[in-house]
Amino acid sequence: MSSWLMRPAGPLPGTWRRSMPASLARSLTAGEASGFSPSARGAPEMDAGCEGRGAGAGDGDFNEPLAVTVRTRVAWLVVNLGATMLSASVVGLFQGEIARFALLAALMPIVSALGGNAGTQTLAVVVRALATHQLTSSNTLRMLLREFRVAIFNGIALGAIGALGSYVILGNAGLSVVFAVAMIINSIVAGLVGVMVPVALDKANVDPAVSSAVFVTTMTDVMGFFSFLGLAALWGLGG
């Protein structure tokens, strides 16, 4: 092994510099002139980055005592239970339409489920951005508008595929149109609440990694059921 590869840490002595290849010596000289020193700056900068990463959303749950973790999560699950009852009450408003047109019961869980999945996707991205400090108050609006556009495109794609599939299987054009429009509406709702809910909880000093999903899934369930069944009633599918 060449002697210049076995140099100690610190500034390069003249003897080490003269023994290494000329191209490497010129590169190191330029680096020292700009103030870069791997031994002096590399490790502290990496440590600082590691300390900063994960200091926001979701901090502490993994290292908390088991009793604290269970108590925190159960509390939010109880809230989720109440929110699920709210979703069920929305379905109850349209039980007459469902009784007259049973196919509505077959498709409405698809609308709410895909809305929930879309909201969870957005939620995961936002929580990660909050945890790594990539999402701040200065770029929240830009993030919201970006996810709004993504939700529109996703909703159109899912609505078109869902409408085609439901028409092939069920053979009802009106039901397919209602299904597609409800998918678009719920996808937009999912994209918006997937950003706004974790940001609002983070500003309120509530861990969005634990609590956001409760509110996001509740909103997508409620809007999914309401938009699909409401549009079906307006279209006269239950008549």
List pLDDT tens digits, range 78-125: 888 888 888 889 998 998 888 889 889 989 999 999 999 999 999 999
The pLDDT of residue 196 is above 80: yes
Is residue 83 located within the same domain as residue 125? yes
- The answer to whether position 111 is within a domain reads yes
My answer on whether 189 and 117 are in the same domain is yes
| Residues 6+ away with beta carbon under 8 Å from 238 | 94, 96, 97, 98, 99, 100, 101, 104, 232
Domain total in the chain = 2
- Statement to judge: residues 156 and 222 lie in one domain: yes
19 and 122 share one domain: no
pLDDT bin (cut points 50, 70, 90) of residue 238 is: low
Q: How many helices (H) and strands (E) does the chain have?
A: 9, 0
Window from 42-46, 173-177, 219-223 with minimum mean pLDDT: 42-46
Dihedral over alpha carbons 131, 133, 136, 140 (to 10 degrees): -60
d(CA 141, CA 48): 28
pTM over 0.75: no
